[in-house]
């Protein structure tokens, strides 16, 4: 069965140094009529699990009511959270936890210093308070860790801490390349990406504890992520069906902001059919590109490929003295890839 990701809000209670500026820190919540439209028809298209993302999804003004509606409609659910609001929200959702798949908390360091350097003072302590509730109440949770140049030396320690705290697993994600990441010295160099991926693979082989790796690392697979495998659908806070959970506000060139993907104006069936066609079209485009010339390292970084295709990397020209600019320029891969 497939998973539906719903970006409940682009508001967040943090201002993390490694986040997309345009994605978080906003002021918009998804409208309840859109939620009702999704819940009413998504199950007919084999979606049985709904995962809430953001921003910080628990900040949606009607988060408990949305959880209740999803629960009453028979879906399993989960949400991704920084944990800062969990003590407040837990009493309001505790009645629905028998259908909770898991809570995915963000853990980006093994100490208050390393975690808080990305997410803000006191965030590590508040996260541990949220985890203590989960442990005491036997609520399933996992961790997602975004790897940066500041915490890649903690990979083994992060996995160990995640297990020690009682989580169901940890997944390491690659930092998406952004101006903020470059300005703060957080971006991994191309060489670092290879080293990090090798380290995670060895860690997975030596542990029985579940350790995963996000789809942004080097891969020979053309469609490594659930979205391009059409096993996952993202709906943005504005009610639009999107190609990617990482680029909901950045991928206009991918789906052209088609009005037929806007659930504020069309029914779920129509939007879903349009989305399926758009994904198939993008898959075909990527196949043609790789058949023609996709042999380099850069093309095999799938998130980078999508960012480039959606014209979201031209800003890198302002960083002409960096490893990344020189690397991409040498590989002739700056800007939207062409099939020529």
- DSSP secondary structure letters along 188-199: PPHHHHHHHHHH
Contact 34, 263 (CB under 8 A): yes
Structure tokens at 156: 């083994």
Sign of CA dihedral 141, 142, 148, 154: positive
3-class state of residue 100 by DSSP = strand
Report the C-alpha dihedral over residues 152, 184, 175, 149, rounded to 10 degrees.
Answer: -20
Give the integer Cα–Cα distance in Å for 213 and 115: 19
Pairing of strands 232-235, 241-242: antiparallel
Report residue 283 CA to chain centroid gap: 20
In the chain, DSSP assigns E strands to 2-7, 47-53, 76-81, 100-106, 141-147, 170-174, 211-213, 232-235, 241-242
Structure tokens at 98: 């028998």
CA 217, 222, 223: angle at the middle one, nearest 5?
Answer: 85
Q: Radius of gyration over alpha carbons of the chain, in Å?
A: 20
Q: What is the pLDDT of residue 337?
A: 61
Helices 268-292 & 302-309 angle (0-180, nearest 10): 110
Contact 95, 65 (CB under 8 A): no
The number of helix segments (H) and strand segments (E) in the chain equals 12, 9
Contact 113, 164 (CB under 8 A): no
Q: What is the pLDDT of residue 27?
A: 80
The pLDDT profile of the chain, 340 residues, written as one tens digit per residue, is: 699 999 999 899 998 888 865 555 678 899 999 999 999 999 999 999 999 999 999 999 999 999 999 999 999 999 999 999 999 999 999 999 999 999 999 999 999 999 999 999 999 999 999 999 999 999 999 999 999 999 999 999 999 999 999 999 999 998 888 888 888 899 888 788 889 999 999 999 999 999 999 988 888 888 999 999 999 999 999 999 988 887 655 444 455 457 899 999 999 999 999 999 999 998 998 888 888 765 666 678 888 888 777 777 777 888 888 887 887 777 666 556 665 5
CATH of domain 2-255: 3.20.20.70
Give the integer Cα–Cα distance in Å for 219 and 215: 8
Q: Show me where the domains of the chain are located.
A: 2-255
For 316-339, letters b (16+ CB in 10 Å) and e give beebeeeebbebbeeeebbeebee
Structure tokens at 60: 């949606």
Contact 319, 182 (CB under 8 A): yes
Give the integer Cα–Cα distance in Å for 188 and 323: 9
DSSP 240: B
Give the integer Cα–Cα distance in Å for 56 and 84: 9
Give the integer Cα–Cα distance in Å for 170 and 161: 10
Give the count of beta carbons closer than 10 Å to the beta carbon of residue 105.
24
Nearest to 327 by CA among 301, 292, 309: 301
């Amino acid at each position: 069965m497939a998973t539906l990701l719903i970006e409940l809000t682009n508001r967040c209670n943090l201002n993390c140094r490694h986040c997309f500026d345009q994605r978080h820190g906003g002021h918009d919540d998804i409208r309840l009529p859109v939620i009702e439209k999704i819940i009413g028809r998504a199950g007919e298209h084999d979606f049985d699990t709904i995962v809430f993302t953001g921003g910080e999804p628990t900040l949606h003004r009607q988060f408990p009511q949305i959880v209740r509606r999803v629960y009453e409609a028979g879906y399993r659910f989960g949400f991704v959270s920084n944990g800062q609001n969990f003590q407040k929200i837990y009493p309001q959702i505790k009645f629905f936890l028998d259908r909770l798949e898991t809570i995915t908390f963000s853990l980006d360091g093994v100490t208050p210093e390393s975690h808080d350097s990305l997410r803000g003072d006191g965030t590590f302590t508040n996260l541990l308070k949220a985890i203590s509730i989960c442990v005491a109440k036997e609520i399933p949770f996992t961790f997602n860790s975004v790897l940066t140049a500041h915490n890649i030396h903690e990979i083994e320690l992060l996995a160990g801490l995640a297990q020690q705290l009682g989580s169901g697993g940890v997944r390491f994600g690659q930092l998406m390349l952004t101006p903020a990441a470059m300005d703060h010295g957080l971006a991994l160099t191309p060489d670092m990406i290879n080293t990090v991926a090798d380290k995670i693979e060895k860690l997975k082989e030596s542990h029985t504890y579940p350790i995963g790796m996000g789809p942004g690392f080097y891969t020979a697979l053309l469609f490594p992520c659930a979205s391009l495998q059409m096993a996952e659908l993202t709906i943005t806070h504005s009610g639009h069906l999107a190609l990617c959970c990482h680029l909901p506000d950045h991928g206009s060139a991918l789906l052209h902001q088609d009005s037929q993907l806007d659930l504020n104006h069309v029914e779920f069936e129509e939007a879903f059919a349009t989305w399926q066609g758009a994904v198939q079209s993008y898959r075909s485009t990527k196949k043609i590109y790789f058949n023609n010339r996709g042999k380099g390292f850069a093309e095999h970084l799938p998130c980078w490929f999508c960012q480039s295709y959606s014209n979201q990397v031209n800003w890198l020209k302002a960083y002409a003295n960096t490893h990344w600019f020189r690397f991409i320029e040498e590989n002739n891969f700056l800007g939207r890839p062409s099939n020529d």
